[in-house]
Structure 1
Amino acid sequence: MTTGRRGRLTVYLGAAPGVGKTYAMLDEAHRRRARGTDVVIGLVETHGRTATVERIGDLEMLPRRLVEHRGTTLTELDVPAVLERAPEVALVDELAHTNAPGSEHPKRWQDVHDLLDAGIDVVTTVNVQHLASLTDDVEAITGVRQRETVPDKVVREADQIQLVDLSPEQLRRRLAHGNVYRADQIDASMSSFFRIGNLTALRELALLWLADRVDDALTRYRADHAIGGTWPARERIVVAVTGGPETETLLRRAARIAQRAAGTELLAVHVLPTDGLPSTPSATIAAHRGLAESLGGVFHTVVGEDVPTAVVDFARGVNATMIVVGVSRHSVWRQALLGSSSAEIARLSGAIDVHLVTHERAHVGTGVGSRYSSLSPKRRAAGWGSSLVLPAALTAVLLLIGRDDLALATDAMLLLAVVVGVAMIGGLWPAVVAAVVSNLCLNWFFTPPVGRWTIAQGENVLALAVFVVVAVAVASVVDLAARRTTQAYRARAEASTLAALSRSVLSGQDTAQAIVERLAQTFAMAEVRLEERADDRAPWTVVAHERWATAEAGSGAGSGAGSGGSGATDDGSVTEVAIDDRHRLLLAGRVLPASDRQVVEAFGAQAGIVLEHRRLREQAAQAEVLERTESTRTALLAAVSHDLRTPLAVIRTAVDGLASPDVELDREDRDILTGTIADSTYRLERLIGNLLDLSRLQTGAVRPVLRAASLEEVVPIAVEPWLSDLALDVPEDLPLVHTDPGLFERVVANVVSNAVRHSPPGAKVLFTASATRASVELRIADAGPGVPDDRKATMFEPFQRLDDTSVNGLGLGLAVASGLADAVGARIAAEDTPGGGLTMVLTVPREPAPNSGQDDGMVS
């Protein structure tokens, strides 16, 4: 039976298993039932958790549907039974669950849709790692591919989403106390999926995803209720970026305003004209984009026919609370005649505040010479010449034909065609001159009274005036079309050139060399050099260099990014483009026009990024080497002063006892002293071997031989002296690891020795191993006193002790183990043992097996 309405969906969203989603859902069910609502449990997964089972209490629970699959009986949600029971509210756990074959639907969320269509409200749960859009992100964080997913749309369209949040530390404590999984699953879970880093990242994903959903809900509410004004739920500042020199001032001023309130968003918007052609050089826009992002903002580019309207529409679309604009650069008289964009934005803004910022370029004008001519000097000279010659020549031809044979309108149209031709040859101003000359010829030779500048008939005055206006208007359109065509070709060539550069840089080539090669080919330059220097007074040295033989031959096979892209010849000119204080580009072969120089500057900016990344990589590598050197040196000094002295003192004491003439020793006493010497000698040999390996690694004389290795050739040898003190749980089917078996064996031995030494008498050390997607983990857990949290950060440093009175301490063993582990690509970490003690986690990378297709699954 249906109620005629669609049911409401409530989702409890969690960052990970065990945060309490099911418990919160059951709480909601008890509250609703207390208010008189008919609530039943369609399906709840307790996973054996006592608190969850107890929280079910006396809630009505419908039987599950039994499904036979490959000889196994599985239980699923019984959708027909829920529909027949027709409750007001049904609880359905684990929304992303995949149903067993033979069910009505392959996914549980589809079963939930059937209940909602029947008018039943549904309360369900889902973890953030099951959202389809986050599958790749979750795999990158945890190393495990999630196989059970639910489309984001299903959760986003829920009527209510409740976030069940728990800090990673609290969740791990719940796990350690056995509140999430059985005791035999705790160690494996804490070492794989439930790491602190994994849980923190998943928690952030859940919060960010839910924040986006809240923004969507607010936008949808405003649209549903036709709310056009802005709601200041969050401060958003929009900066109108013109691309002029005042842009930097505007961005910095807006950033300072944004910093006054926490959570304020900064958005910069640049409006392109509707023809799509950039009015500002791309290098300038790129610089402004970088500045906006460095100030914590986001840069947007929109297309609009009217700049003020486009800016205000954008601000309203993002629900902005303030628009920051600059004072107009136009002169006062031009603003009085044509208005200004800033004043128009203020008029259109409505409830959005407008912050007007003054700057150095305010009211100084944009300059008369700002219009760029794309015509060559030869074409401009031809245009000026034809502006005088063509009207005169056509007038002579018309006079030869005879004045009486053609009407005045025909003469005017022919001369108008001449004006259009001049516009196509030489641009706007030659065409204006041609229009004036043509008008004078019409007046003198063809308008009665002929041979005089006076006009007898009034309609001829109007005809001549219309002729001039039409001629100038047509010439303007033709000139503008020619400019736009040239700009379009140039923009396409520049975009193609920069795209080709990006492909060459991202393809893994030597990027600096790729840049100079592309420059030489694109601009047909005879030679291109990328140079650097150590400081302002140091000489320049060549980083990358390219000669292009075709350019020297004058073939000019450039891409056409600039006006001189073809037919270039080597005239010995050198163009210098500064990247920064320490780097520059030199281009030899011809003089580059300003338009081509803009593209070269974009190349230079890319080269600067490449060089900076190279410098940072080199510094990081040097710092890593120095850090390892210092660590090894410190370990060696501590070993000499501590670990070497102890066995030597024991040997010396035993030798003195054996050699003393004043003491009579029986055979048993001599055997004890001899055994003491043997044990101390063994410890000393082992320690010296470790020190020699560290010393050789430090000097580079011996390098680890990393190869595929099985733990079966490492663990038995490493733990042999302490077998009676260990409880081993190492599966035989562990994958191969990528390490140096000999050195890694010493790492394991040092860690095991330390754990046995700190365990209480009679307590065994638990040694377990497990595999994740990218590594194999060895966990050595003792039941000793443990290590305080404030000491875990320094416990791997040499000569560290638990307290000032401790005799054994941590000493050198863990420091040597840590140094060797770094050398063989492994990692050591310390965790608390559930119930007390310390667990050392050794993580060693697996041997790559790209074609294995292995999928380890995920804890759910």
Structure 2
Amino acid sequence: MAENDTNDRPSPEALLEEANRERRGRLTIFLGAAPGVGKTYAMLEDAQARRREGVEVVVGIVETHGRKDTETQLEGLEILPRRRIVHRGRAFHEMDLDAILARRPRLVLVDELAHTNIPGSRHVKRWQDVEEIRDAGIDVCSTLNVQHLESLNDVVERITGVRVRETLPDGVLQKADEIALIDLPPQELIKRLREGKVYVPDQARRAVDHFFSTGTLTALREMALRQAAERVDAQMLRYMRAHAISGPWPTRERILVCIGDGPQAMRLVRTTKRAAERRDVPWVVLYVETHRHQSLAEEDKDSIAQALRLAEQLGGETAVVQAERVAEEILAFARARNVSQIIVGRAHPKRWFRALHSSVTADLLARNEDFDTLVVAGEDERPPRGLDTRPIPAAVDGLAYAMATLTVAAATALGLVMDIWLPLPNISVAYLVGVLLVAIRHGLAPSIYASVLSFLTFNFLFTEPKYTFAISDVQNILTVFFFLVAAVITSNLAARVRSQVEATRLGARRTANLYDFNRRISAAVGLDDVLWAVVHHVASTMNGRSLVLLPRDGRLEVVAGYPPEDTLDEKSMAAARWSWGNGKPAGRGSTTLPAADWLFLPLRTGRNAAGALPMGILGVQLQDGQALLSPEQGRLLDTLADQAAVAIERTALVADIEAARVAAETERLRAALLSSLSHDLRTPLVSILGAASSLHSYGDTLKPAERQDLAQTIQEEAERLNRFVQNLLDMTRIGSGTLRPRSDWVDLADIVGAALGRARRMLGDRPVSVDLEAGLPLLRLDPVLIEQVFFNLIDNVCKHSPEGRPVTIRARRRDDTVLVEVCDQGPGIPEADRERIFDMFYRVEAGDAQAAGTGLGLAICRGIVAAHGGTITAGAGHDGTGTCITVTLPVPAEPEIGGLDQDRGLQAEG
């Protein structure tokens, strides 16, 4: 009863999946076989009905394609404006994702789910926009044609002769909450096409001749119906798991075939494939792994691996589960997968085994009341064997038996002591404990040996007559017999427990292995780190060698290996190329180029489009000449390959994002440069042309003072233009890395004085205060470049502080640096902008009364100061008013030159 109650409880995984689905918005997909079947019209019709029910409906994007009946269905619905994106000089209008998230309606309509967004959008595909909308808890209705599914892309191309470029992963359709199939017979669709209800007349005629033929539409219609049926079947299975419905619900046929070790497994797989193909139903191959699996002969393990691999090649699904009660596990699996028929093979055990044990087939038939069961006849003939290939459980088989002998000897010694005070039956407990220890430590065979040896020793030393194997007392005969039975049963149970513990440890090691692998590749920063983590972990896990090949200029190259490997022989390289070109395993242990020494697996993720080449190849070479992977090794290697592909793809995405960021920054700088050129070149040129034109036309009639003003204007604007060109040249030198300071011993006071002299006209009536601390050391600087730094700082002060406000220049020594401050009493710089003002072309927003800058001056200052090993920062003025820009310059390590005037302080007011 308790077991039944447990089985009636919903699966925790199913409940968790259902809870996650409830937190997200629901996705309803209107699926059609081809354009024009009425998907968008049906979606809008459903939206209008829900709007009348009081649901808040918003149109994110709907393409009517000029169809009047579709446009009519939009009436009364709120339509969000589209976002304008300029790409390659053309304006495009895409769905405004941010507007939808800000609006947060109950339901949003998003047409054409497989659409590819214009570059510059947040996501590459529209279905990714929909996923973000659903994450915000907003329901979505969308439309999709069956030819846009990735798994059908190549099939559609063969049928229609048209390569569909816009695809989406099948998982998007499989994870949808609802699918509404919009079906239309081919003749009706062709009629609509000719009436101009799908395309304009010229396009319609071409479409009927090519894509919209009766045969093509019939094939597409069948694919759409199949996808809808499979989706409904998956939805029913999810409902059954969530509500703990054991099933089966025979709404659709599904065949389950159960295989064991031996050649019969291959025959079972082929038989099931033929049966499934005749009835056109899905089929699953199941192998139940018990504690006996580890003690199977290697050829039996290989036969299981070959059968599972054959099933995958024939299009079947495979599953491997661990359990001890095989028949119960088969029935539980069949109920969970809603199977309609179970196929098993007929076992042919020995007569003595059949008398003591029931076969799995017999046990299954006795327990099964829900499923049709087909027992495949045929002798389970095994080829004659040479030596037994079962693995030796201990390091050396003889060591295990030696330890068993020593354990029995120790139990005998204890029994001799117990014989003094205790009756005969109690002495057998010592031997039972010894047998149990041997079974736990060394497995079944040594424990059986210990049982027999204990039986003989117990009989020889403790039963009358002693020191013979004869038994005189009938009661002692029963005691010795039951002791032997108990010893054998105890050893068998203990060995089984040991096997189960080993299986549990193996599962734990596998989980820890995958966790460690994920941790390593997650911590890896660049592609090289990821590749090294992958090959090192795969090699150590598979106890062999590993390498990764990636395409370089259209050719596969070995990019990482452990142990280090950079070349492959011709056979192995041919297998790697075939695996890359076909997206399937190749090489040793596979069915393609098995003569190669390596096994190659394609690295592919869900983002790879159907028919696209894998991103790379993972190669594995097993040690000791092992040709085939066990089912467990195969599953583990497939998992590692999937995780490696995701990690490599992650690094590629990071590189793409960085490249996009650099491209965007380059575009921003280009736009800023063009803006600066248009303003800072045009403005002084206009002033120069205007003043020169006035002098040329009216020079004789102008007063001397007016002519002087015009000449001064020409000079000032020419100097301004010269400074702009010089800034561009300096910025180019800094950006290209060709700026090399020509350092010399200089006095800071001389440089500050020269900069103030150049800026005298620019300063106007602003009072200047210069305060240089006495005793400042000589500095190793490029006098021309550092003078340019201070000139640019003074120029920046003049542009951003009002006339008549004082300007202060201070210099102080702090440890091994000299700090120079240039302060004004202007409006100041917001704290958020104090770091960004040193970026190229960045300008703090200011009023119209203030002169505009190019955004290059402070960037040049930072480049020059950094070339001298210094720093430059911006902060608030000392009294909280204005801005102070601080230049930090290093004091040279060389001793100061003696005899110099130590009083180089300069106090000046200007």
Please indicate, yes or no, whether the TM-score normalized by the shorter chain is above 0.5: no
Normalising by structure 1, what TM-score?
0.42
Normalising by structure 2, what TM-score?
0.40
